[in-house]
Amino acid sequence: MKAEVITIGDEILIGQTVDTNSAWLGNKLNLIGIDIIRITSIPDTKARIVDALNESIQRADVIILTGGLGPTQDDITKNTLAEYFNMTLKRNDAVFSRISEYIEARGLEMLQKHAQQADLPDGARVIDNLNGSASGMWFEKDNTIIISMPGVPYEMKAMMADVVIPELSRSQDSEIIHHTTLTQGIGESTLAGILEDWETRLRKSGLSLAYLPSPGAVKLRITSKDLTNGSSLVKQFAAELDQLIEKHIYGYGDETLPLVIGKMLRESGKTLSTAESCTGGFLAHQITSISGSSDYFMGSVVAYANEVKTGQLGVDIDILKQHGAVSEPVVKQMAEGVRKLLGTDYAIATSGIAGPLGGTEQKPVGTIWVAVAGPKETKALMFRFGNNRERNILMTSLSGLNMLRRLIKKALPH
C-alpha cells in the first residue's frame, strides 16, 4: 500500500509550529509495510484542501490528514470534508456525551463551540478521541482510504495506535522487518568506515542499512522485506554489528539513553544525582522524563555561578582560580561534591562554554568537561562540540549519560 500525509495549518507553513506528526506517521506506517510516497503541508483554506485531496487520490491507497479539526473559525477541515464527500453534518449523541464528560472533568463550562465538535459527517466512520474534543473521521472513495485526525500530536498518536494502525495492518499482506541499533559518541562517517566490509555483505544478502544521525547519536537501521529468510538474516547481521561496535551501543529500537540508564540503576539498586553548570538542569530534565525515575534519581544542583560550585558542592576555590570553571579538576570535584551532598551512588557533572558568548582562544565555544563519579572512581572527559548553544547542551547531556552507562556497566558482575 502507498500512503500520503497532508498536514493542514497556516501555523505549519509560517514556521510557528514544527510538523512532528509527519515524521512520526512515516515511521509507524513504514513499520507495517506501508510506503509513504509524499508529505504535503497546506494552509487552512477549502480550495487547498480539495486540491490536495484530488491529487493524492490519484496516487495513494491511504491518505492521512492532520489538523484543522478544532472549534475555532479557522478550523475548516471537517466542513470541507463533509462537502467533498457529499455528506451533511449531524449531531453524534455518543460523541456529544463523551465531549460533555471531557469538559466537565476539567471543571469547564460546556459552550456551543464544544457541542459543535459532535457535529460530524453522517457517512463517515468516527474515530474516538479520548484525549480531546475533536473526533477523527474515516472515509473511503475510489478504493482510497482517507483518514482525518487532529493535529495535536498526543491526540493523533493515540488514535493511530488504538484504531488506525490496527485497522490498516489487517488489510496489509506484507510487512517490513526492522532492527535498530542505537549508538552514542561516534560519528556517522567513523561508523561507516568501521562497518564498510560488513555493510557490503549485508547489502549483497538483500538487506538495506540506514544511518540515521542526530546530535550526539546515530541509529543504524537494518531492513528486510523478505518474509521467508529476512528475519533470520536481520538477526545474524545485527549480532555481527554488536560485536563490531559493542562499546558504542547503548540500546535498541525505541530505547533512549535516559530509559537505559534508568533500567540499569533500578536493576542494580543504585541512585543518581547531577551537578550542572552549562546544561542548566537539562540533564536532570532528561533523567526525569522517564516515569518512575524517582526510584533512583535523588536530585540536582544547578551550579551556574562559581559561588554555588564552591559553596554548595565544595569545589576548592584555589583549584577554581587556577584552572577555571571549565576544567577537569573542577568538574570532577563537582561530581564528587553532589554525590556526597545528596548521598547517591553515582553522579554526573557538567561544565562548559555552551555559547555563543564566553569562548576564549584556549577554551573556544563548545569546550565541555563532563565527569561521572561512582563508588570506586571518578572519570572526566573533555569534548569539543560546536557553536550552537542548544545542540551543545543536548550533546553534553547525552555524553554524560553515556559515560555513566559505561561506568555502571563496568561495575556490574560479569
> What tens digit of pLDDT does each residue of 275-292 get?
999 999 999 999 999 999
338-348 burial by CB neighbour count: b if 16+ within 10 A, else e?
Answer: bbebbebbbbb
State the Cα–Cα distance between residues 246 and 385, nearest whole angstrom: 24
pLDDT over 70 for what percent of the chain?
99
Can you give the pTM of this predicted structure?
0.80
Say what the pLDDT of residue 172 is: 67
User: Do residues 5 and 22 make contact, with C-beta atoms less than 8 angstroms apart?
Assistant: yes
User: Cell 500530536 appears where?
Assistant: 153
Quick: pLDDT tens for 23-81. 999 989 988 889 899 999 999 999 999 999 999 999 999 999 999 999 988 899 999 99
Residue 328 DSSP class = H
State the Cα–Cα distance between residues 135 and 78, nearest whole angstrom: 10
Mean pLDDT, rounded, of the chain: 95
Ordered by where they begin, the domains of the chain are 2-170 (3.40.980.10), 177-252 (3.30.70.2860), 257-411 (3.90.950.20)
Res 414 pLDDT > 80? no
User: Do residues 351 and 333 make contact, with C-beta atoms less than 8 angstroms apart?
Assistant: no
From the list 93, 131, 99, 97, the residue with the least C-alpha distance to 113 is 99
C-alpha cell recorded at residue 393: 547542551
- If DSSP codes are grouped into helix, strand and coil, which group holds residue 305? coil
State the Cα–Cα distance between residues 67 and 7, nearest whole angstrom: 6
Say what the pLDDT of residue 243 is: 97
Written as one string, the DSSP assignment of 206-219 is: T-EEEEEEETTEEE
Say what the pLDDT of residue 176 is: 81
Res 375 pLDDT > 70? yes
Say what the pLDDT of residue 41 is: 97
State the Cα–Cα distance between residues 352 and 331, nearest whole angstrom: 9
